[in-house]
A and B are shown apart, each in its own frame.
Chain A
Amino acid sequence: MTMAEGDLAVTEFRFVQSQYLTAQPPPARMTGALAWVRANLLSTPFNIALTVVVLALVVWILYGVIGFLLVDAVWTGSDRTACLMSTVHHEVGACWPFVKDRLAYFTYGSYPIPQRWRVDLFFALLAVGVGWLLWLRAPRRDLGMVYFFIVLPVVSFILLHGFAAIGLPVVDTVLWGGVLVTIVLASVGIVVSLPIGIVLALGRRSRMPIVRFSSSVFIEFVRGVPLITVLFMASVMLPLFVPQQYEPDKLLRAMIGIALFASAYMAEVVRAGLQAIPKGQYEGAMAVGLNYPLMMRFIILPQALRVTIPNIVNTYIGLFKDTSLVTIIGIFDLLNTVEVSRVDPKWATPVTSTTGYAVAAMFYLVFCYGMSRYARATEARLRQGDKR
């Protein structure tokens, strides 16, 4: 048995430990739930006070919300008397029969009942398109782009508005309402604002002074005024600007207003992306002889849009929330259907308003939170790609 020189030397000294000590368990105060609580909630007197105050606040809010939505809620009934304190004999929470009764109205507005399958089909087609684009490893995403940006708008228009020649009766847009209008407005904004925004952003970075000037003026003007004034302009002034026989439909006017507004914001987002592309990319593209459209199409925009995906989605979230403003110009989006229903004499009680708002809030919360999660996941993915 041969021993290494060093080992031999060590064993000769008595005071050197020749066996490994067995590891001892960490002190009880450093691990486990208790230690976590100590470190994260009760580390200093100030932290203890903060924990107590915030905990009380959170419990108070949750107690109120859960109490209202579930515990004290009324679940059955056919009209307002079910949700009155004189009927239930305790504090009344959410009035769910009201929502059940009005759910179809919240979803379709006054869309004719026999035709509502068309709306359902539209939702399904839209879901397919959104899923196709958002699922990054889906097959043929290029086809998905064509489907979402070209096929879907045309098909949806025929489906929702109607086309008498193929047997779909025309449904006037004044009958549209609820979630349908909210989704239609948001989709139009989403589909239209990106291409216009890209054009405006390229225009703003153009070397041609007139192009640059007109793009900048449009962007700065629209970004400088509130959306509600843009909507007022679209709904009050637009009919003045076109010949009388072409007076646009009310919903179309709102769409134009929202699309223009979103385009200006999108332009700034895209411009930020364009600025993030190093100059060498432009020079390289020009050096291999690409002209401007080819350079943009194959070199610059793919990179610029990739880095701005999170910001684009954030703009979409803002757009989605902003569609609620059409309530003010009298279009029956989800919020307006809630507004109308909550004062309906059949259901008006002290809790009806809050119930209606809670439903609308949950709808927006689910959609917007979903989008922001997606943006964050994409951001994380992009960051991973940049790591070397």
Chain B
Amino acid sequence: MASEQVTGAGPPRVPLYNDPKVRSVVYQIVLAAAVALLVYGAVTNAADHLQKAHIASGFGFWNQTAGFDISQTLIAYTSSASTYGRAFWVGLLNTLLVAGLGIVLATILGFIIGVARLSTNWIVARAATGYVETIRNIPLLLQLLFWYNAVLKALPNIRDSLVLPGGVYLNNRGLMVPKPQALAGFVWVEIAFAVGIVGSIALGVWARRRQMQTGRHVPVVWIGLALVVGLPLVALFATGVPLHFDIPQAGRFNITGGVDLQPEFVALLLGLSIYTAAFIAEVVRAGILAVARGQAEAAYSLGLKPGPTLRLIVIPQAMRVIVPPLTNQYLNLIKNSSLAVAIGYPDLVQIFTGTVLNQTGQAVEVVAITMLVYLTISLVTSFAMNLYNRRVALVER
């Protein structure tokens, strides 16, 4: 072997098969070849299968007429004229709607329960623990089916609707609520709202600078709230309440008017929020516990009251620990919204991977598009949360 002939200075020659560099190159070539072979085999097999089944691959189906109905559409959609592509957008918007609302509700509920778990009030802490332990350990799908089949579908039918105050009807076809409709002068309220938001942002910037220079504190939150809520209210009444409420009317067989929140939507929103809130509660609890006790004690000894201590000392530090796992929970909620397919809420998976796939048979394209959409949503969400995380993260020297 080569190594035996080496004499004199220089590192001993290693046999080729023991050279780490050569080895790593060989390993990688083998891996790449294996992956390529796998992909090649899959593609040829798939082409073979599709040819036998007489399915033309490609995205030609995108512009074909869909021909099926969708029960909840945020954009115009008709079964006779709209295309599969349109159906895709309808499903995507429905997914985003339920995921967005679910994130808001789950965050609110999760923070409340997370704080409640740390409460000094025994029964509050116990109840919160019971909530978390129960909800976390039951599959989401089971909870969704329970809300949908056992709770919402068991409500009285439309003729015996439960009538709630304010023209709200609850029955097994959903929750019918009054629908506000803007009249001519409503634009002033919107302008006032925009002005309120811009004003409170400006106020925040000014107040921060003032506090830095003079040390004097301005109650930004309250003034800002007054601007954002108060200004539109003033505008609303100044223009004579240009709002019309389309109140649901109980007819003989049906309820007309208003907004009909479908049971599928309500069940999915309820199930997602309640389930994810249990996980967010654990994240929040861990975050608050991660802030050293001395921080709050030091704040008290400086003379800060409990409110400002929580707001200025504890929460900013807890957020650093909370944000990364919170991002994961948001992503989980978005991905879990795909369970809509089990209860028939027309989300992306139900419309696209369900109906469109069955009608067109384009399994590869449809599943690939669906996965790509979820990947994109995941990446965008984690990018946005990373931006926020960078703001709250510890600035180290």
Interface string of B119-147 (1 = CB under 8 A from A): 11111100100100110111111100110
Q: Is the CB of B120 within 8 A of A40?
A: yes
Residue from the list A225, A227, A327, A368 in contact with B375, Cβ < 8 A: A225
CB distance from B171 to the nearest CB of A (A): 15
Q: Tell whether A1 is near chain B: CB-to-CB under 8 Å.
A: no
Q: A208-B27, A229-B338 are in contact. Are A321 and B46 (CB under 8 A)?
A: no
Q: Tell whether A221 is near chain B: CB-to-CB under 8 Å.
A: yes
**A residues in contact with B364, CB < 8 Å:** 237, 240
Q: Is the CB of B124 within 8 A of A51?
A: yes
Q: A224-B375, A229-B353 are in contact. Are A369 and B127 (CB under 8 A)?
A: no
CB distance from B315 to the nearest CB of A (A): 19
Q: Tell whether A228 is near chain B: CB-to-CB under 8 Å.
A: yes
CB distance from B124 to the nearest CB of A (A): 5
Q: Is the CB of B50 within 8 A of A240?
A: yes
Q: Tell whether A360 is near chain B: CB-to-CB under 8 Å.
A: yes
Q: Is the CB of A228 within 8 A of B341?
A: yes
Q: How large, as a class, is the contact surface on chain B?
A: 35 or more
How many A-B residue pairs lie within 8 Å, measured between CB atoms?
Answer: 156
Q: Tell whether B349 is near chain A: CB-to-CB under 8 Å.
A: yes
User: Which stretch, B69-77, B159-167, B174-182, B366-374, touches the partner chain A?
Assistant: B366-374
Q: Tell whether B149 is near chain A: CB-to-CB under 8 Å.
A: yes
Q: Tell whether B201 is near chain A: CB-to-CB under 8 Å.
A: no
Q: Tell whether B392 is near chain A: CB-to-CB under 8 Å.
A: no
Q: Is the CB of B28 within 8 A of A322?
A: no
Residue from the list A57, A237, A342, A365 in contact with B137, Cβ < 8 A: A365
Q: Is the CB of A236 within 8 A of B349?
A: no
Residue from the list A227, A240, A328 in contact with B363, Cβ < 8 A: A240
Q: Tell whether B150 is near chain A: CB-to-CB under 8 Å.
A: yes
Q: Is the CB of A47 within 8 A of B24?
A: no
> What is the bound-complex CA distance between A355 and B230, given in angstroms?
50
> What is the bound-complex CA distance between A58 and B142, given in angstroms?
22
Q: Is the CB of B41 within 8 A of A228?
A: no
Q: A214-B31, A226-B335 are in contact. Are A243 and B371 (CB under 8 A)?
A: no
> What is the bound-complex CA distance between A361 and B139, given in angstroms?
8
Q: Is the CB of A241 within 8 A of B336?
A: no
Chain B binding site: helix, strand, loop or mixed by DSSP?
helix
**B residues in contact with A322, CB < 8 Å:** 139
Q: Tell whether A2 is near chain B: CB-to-CB under 8 Å.
A: no
CB distance from A46 to the nearest CB of B (A): 9
Q: Tell whether B357 is near chain A: CB-to-CB under 8 Å.
A: yes
Q: Tell whether A315 is near chain B: CB-to-CB under 8 Å.
A: no
Interface set, chain B 88-143, CB cutoff 8 A to A: 119-124, 127, 130, 133-134, 136-142
Q: Tell whether B387 is near chain A: CB-to-CB under 8 Å.
A: no
**B residues in contact with A365, CB < 8 Å:** 134, 137-138
> What is the bound-complex CA distance between A368 and B141, given in angstroms?
15
CB distance from A330 to the nearest CB of B (A): 12
Q: Tell whether B56 is near chain A: CB-to-CB under 8 Å.
A: no
> What is the bound-complex CA distance between A234 and B90, given in angstroms?
26
Q: Is the CB of A229 within 8 A of B371?
A: yes
Interface set, chain A 231-271, CB cutoff 8 A to B: 232-233, 236-237, 239-244
Q: Is the CB of A228 within 8 A of B27?
A: no
Q: Tell whether B378 is near chain A: CB-to-CB under 8 Å.
A: yes
Q: Is the CB of B121 within 8 A of A51?
A: yes
Q: Tell whether A134 is near chain B: CB-to-CB under 8 Å.
A: no
Residue from the list B41, B123, B145, B375 in contact with A241, Cβ < 8 A: B41
Q: A232-B353, A240-B50 are in contact. Are A54 and B142 (CB under 8 A)?
A: no
Q: A229-B367, A241-B42 are in contact. Are A350 and B123 (CB under 8 A)?
A: no
> What is the bound-complex CA distance between A357 and B370, given in angstroms?
30
Q: Tell whether A295 is near chain B: CB-to-CB under 8 Å.
A: no
CB distance from B133 to the nearest CB of A (A): 6
Q: Tell whether A353 is near chain B: CB-to-CB under 8 Å.
A: yes
Q: Is the CB of B338 within 8 A of A228?
A: yes
Q: Tell whether A325 is near chain B: CB-to-CB under 8 Å.
A: yes
CB distance from B209 to the nearest CB of A (A): 36
Q: Tell whether A276 is near chain B: CB-to-CB under 8 Å.
A: no
**Chain B residues proximal to chain A, CB less than 8 Å:** 24, 27-28, 31-32, 35, 41-42, 45-46, 48-50, 119-124, 127, 130, 133-134, 136-142, 145-146, 149-150, 154, 335-336, 338-339, 341-342, 349, 353, 357, 363-364, 367, 370-371, 374-375, 378-379
Q: Give 5 nearest A-B pairs by CB, closest first.
A: A368-B137, A241-B42, A226-B335, A40-B122, A210-B28
Q: Write 9 A-B pairs (CB below 8 A) sorted by A numbering.
A: A54-B127, A214-B35, A224-B375, A225-B371, A229-B371, A242-B45, A324-B142, A365-B134, A369-B133
**Chain A residues proximal to chain B, CB less than 8 Å:** 40-41, 43, 47, 50-51, 54-55, 57-58, 207-211, 214, 221, 223-229, 232-233, 236-237, 239-244, 317, 321-322, 324-325, 327-328, 335, 339, 342, 350, 353-354, 357, 360-361, 364-365, 368-369, 372
